[in-house]
Amino acid sequence: MTSGTARVQFDPAGMDSGAFYRVLNSVVVPRPIAWVCSRSAEGRVNLAPHSFYTVACVSPPVVQFTSVGRKDTLTNVEETGEFTVSLTPEPLFEQVNATATDFPHGVSEAEQCGVALEPSERVSVPRVAGSPVTLECRLHSTVRLGDSTVVFGRVELVSVWEEAVHDGRPRIERLRPLARLGGNEWSTIGEVKEIRRIPHRRWAEDPSIGEQLRGS
């Protein structure tokens, strides 16, 4: 198939894996950031951002994040079977980035970066006090893929600041999540658009829906 606009092609077969990784990071955007808090078997608390993060399953509720290589977060989660994921809010931009510093094993990123933690409800791992949302998770499973490990966590509880919930639904303008882009770029929410899903019966009732989309 041909198209009108010239494209640059990035083929992993002909590229260094690090260079291809940078391309992937620049095109799979924006990515939500999981601020993953975990605890080692000796009880040391760890906090690190992971942007390879999404919902993996609806029922049972499961989220996933990926550890590229072996990091303290992955080791801790495997050791204790628990972690929390706090949403990374715009006001804590500098702190989120600083918790990705490669501090020596055993150093608490939260303490070094001035990120206040508080107890969670269902798991023994704390949550970020200044984050409006936390998912409390128990390890479901891990899948090793090449140099990375995907961690699946069963969500036991989602806690949201009262002020961020309106009519029973957490509101994006109160959550103000950060997202990760390529290179050293990050983004904030920007303009929020709303649109309803179109049920199939409406296409038959109103032919102009399709005509407008096709520009006819």
Ligand X SMILES: Cc1cc2nc3c(=O)[nH]c(=O)nc-3n(C[C@H](O)[C@H](O)[C@H](O)COP(=O)(O)O)c2cc1C
Q: Are 63 and 154 spatial neighbours (Cβ–Cβ below 8 Å)?
A: no
Among 30, 37, 39, 50, binds ligand X (CB under 6 A): 50
Query: Which helix (H) or strand (E) is 174 found in, with range?
Result: helix 172-175
The three-state secondary structure class of 87 is: strand
Answer yes or no whether residue 19 interacts with ligand X by CB under 6 A: no
DSSP annotation of 197 reads: -
Number of residues that bind ligand X (CB under 6 A): 17
- CA atoms of 22 and 168, how far apart (whole Å): 39
* By CB under 6 A, residue 100 contacts ligand X: yes
Give the one residue of 19, 27, 28, 68 binding ligand X; rule: CB under 6 A: 68
Beta strands at 165-166 and 148-160: parallel, antiparallel or unpaired? unpaired
Q: Is 49 in the site for ligand X (CB under 6 A)?
A: yes
**Binding segment toward ligand X, per CB under 6 A, in 48-56, 79-87, 159-167, 200-208:** 48-56
Binding positions for ligand X, 121-180, rule CB under 6 A: 180
**Nearer CB in complex with ligand X: 33/155:** 33
- Whose tokens are 């993060």? That residue is 53
Type of residue at 27 = V
Residue 83 is a binding residue for ligand X (CB under 6 A): no
Minimum CB–partner distance for residue 29 and ligand X (Å): 12
**Distance from C-alpha of 59 to C-alpha of 179, rounded to nearest angstrom:** 26
Binding site for ligand X (CB under 6 A): 33, 46, 48-52, 66-68, 71-73, 97, 100, 102, 180
